[in-house]
Amino acid sequence: MAHFGWRWVATIGTDEDYSHYGIQAFTEQMEEWGGCVAFHHTIPKAPVSLCTSPCPPGTRQATRPGKPVCCFDCLPCAEGEFTNTSGSMECIKCPMYYWSNAERVACVAGIEEFLSFQEIMGIILVTLSLLGVGVATAVSVIFFLFRATPIVKANNSELSFLLLLSLKLCFLCSLVFMGRPSLWSCQARQAAFGISFVLCISCILVKTIVVLLAFRSTMPGSASLKHFGPPQQRAFIVACTAGQAILCLGWLALAPPVPYKNTSYQGGRIVLECKDVWPLGFYMVLGYIGLLSCVCFVLAFLGRKLPGTFNEAKLITFSMLIFFAVWISFIPAYNSTPGKYTVAVEIFAILASAFGLLFCIFAPKCYIILLRPELNTKKGMTGKNKMNC
């Protein structure tokens, strides 16, 4: 003002506080210079040059096609992304194992999920597992107390006790699948499952072979059972189980399952699971069990019409049918079930098949031992008394 020699000026401002303070300061400065503010004009409000106000935190700005850059839509950030400032053009992705909160303005730690022993489903599965062990133990006690009776002797008591032991292992191995996955549990669960079930099926397979050979040994000039005595039976079971053990050890040595945090699920869930680095290994273990089961079923089916003395083949045939039904339905359910329920499906298949084998093979014998003792005699075993298993 001093440069141009102006003494009389006019001011224009808005009705906002900032404008009032500025004009007041300017007026005081002019008075110090000896000038004067002739008049002041106030306009209602400064015009806004924006089409849309800045987007709030938790959203991002998306330009409208064919509109000026100042015209945009406010879109909420996707799950797993956030913004904590206004007018953000892009949302920021949360770090690994973190998830955006409901407002999408911050990241919070994801919720870890696994099949625990404390939740309702875990308690039910543990109860069923321990119930199976208890029932198998009760059957073992019954067979031990009545080990001198014809029905226990006729069904090869040594194999029966080994079969009951393997069934207990099958029930107990389901417990390894529960709890927070760790390196040892991921490696132990499939190996324990595979070996215990092969031991179980091997015992049933030997019992089936013994039934068929025992019937043939009654024919004149046949000595087939002498070539498959107790030493050969034990060696056969050890060989079958060793094959599965070698397969499991090779799988665990080359490509073992490892603990894995699966973040692909929505809602901030982190599912703790065992990741199969080599999925074919699991299906090879399952296939080996299936192969032995098929051989056992075929042999038992061939011997289903043998005389009543050797009618255990009928029980084995029915137990194998239940076993197949459980595991055939398991494969599609296992591949389609999400999250921690995948483990629950496998545990259910283990328990269901183990209960099926236990009840189909041993329930009829326990019924005769405890409730129909008159059939547990040599006369009953030779068919002079009708035996209904």
Residue 196 has pLDDT above 50, yes or no: yes
- Tens of pLDDT, residues 328-370: 888 888 888 877 888 999 999 999 999 999 999 999 889 988 9
CA dihedral 184, 190, 191, 192 (to 10 degrees): 90
Q: What are phi and psi of 344, to 5 degrees?
A: -65, -35
Q: Tell me 228's DSSP state.
A: G
Kindly state the average pLDDT of the residues 156-179. Answer: 92
Residue 245 has pLDDT above 90, yes or no: yes
Contact between residue 177 and residue 147 where contact means Cβ atoms under 8 Å apart = no
Q: Is the pTM of this model over 0.85?
A: no
Residue 43, C-beta contacts closer than 8 angstroms, at least 6 positions apart: 12, 13, 14, 15
The identity of residue 49, as a single letter, is S
Q: Between helices 120-145 and 157-173, what is the axis angle to 10°?
A: 170
268: left (phi over 0), alpha (psi -120 to 50) or beta: left
Q: What percent of the chain has pLDDT over 70?
A: 83
Residue 81 has pLDDT above 50, yes or no: yes
Q: Give residue 221's pLDDT band: very low, low, confident or very high (50, 70, 90).
A: very low
Stated as kind and residue range, the H or E segment containing 75 is strand 72-76
DSSP calls for 280-295? HHHHHHHHHHHHHHHH
pLDDT at res. 36: 74
What average pLDDT is seen over the chain? 83
Kindly state the average pLDDT of the residues 317-321. Answer: 90
Residue 335, number of CB atoms within 10 A of its CB:
9
Kindly state the average pLDDT of the residues 34-56. Answer: 66
From CA 205, how far away is CA 202, in angstroms rounded?
A: 5
Q: Give residue 2's pLDDT band: very low, low, confident or very high (50, 70, 90).
A: low
- Tens of pLDDT, residues 163-174: 999 999 999 999
- Tens of pLDDT, residues 256-302: 899 999 888 777 788 898 988 888 888 899 899 999 999 999 988 88
pLDDT at res. 43: 67
Q: Give residue 304's pLDDT band: very low, low, confident or very high (50, 70, 90).
A: confident
